[in-house]
Copies of this chain bind each other. A is one copy, B any other.
């Protein structure tokens, strides 16, 4: 007879989710507390900062958010004047999203903060470990995504 035992502290999904939650909370302090940007909005902003002019569907794809969450974030951000929205000439359904001047200003303030935080976390690891982690996260991502 085998004993059924699950040690949460050693269980990969639990450990990942724990880390993710703590890091998410720390990051939220950087953009929510200081700039009033909600998590979903920050993710949209992060996409538009690099890929100006894309549609809501592209944002959803790049952030792995669902389209409802993206739609809501976008509407808030238009409200806040962080982005502008027009519609594509060749397809009036498709939105064309861009950071406004204010949005880009905010983006450029937030990016160094979150990058500094990331660096801080990564500094807990040696260079070799950082490289390993990269490789490992890529492998895990491929593995879990394929099974979707």
Residues in chain A within 8 A of chain B (CB atoms): 4-8, 11-24, 26-27, 43, 46-47, 49-50, 62-64, 107-108, 111-112, 114-115, 117-118, 120-122, 124-125, 129, 132-133, 135-137, 139-145, 147-148
Contacts and interface: CB of A to CB of B under 8 A. Distances in A.
A139 to B, nearest CB: 5
A33 to B, nearest CB: 15
Contact of A141 (B19, B26, B108): B19
A63 B4 CA distance: 19
A136 B133 contact: yes
Nearest to A51: B8
Number of copies of this protein chain within its complex? 2
A5 B140 contact: no
Contacts of A4: 49, 107-108, 111-112
A136 B129 contact: yes
Nearest to A25: B148
**In the complex, which of the residues A12, A43, A49, A114 has the most CB atoms of chain B within 10 Å of its own CB atom?**
A12
Nearest to A65: B21
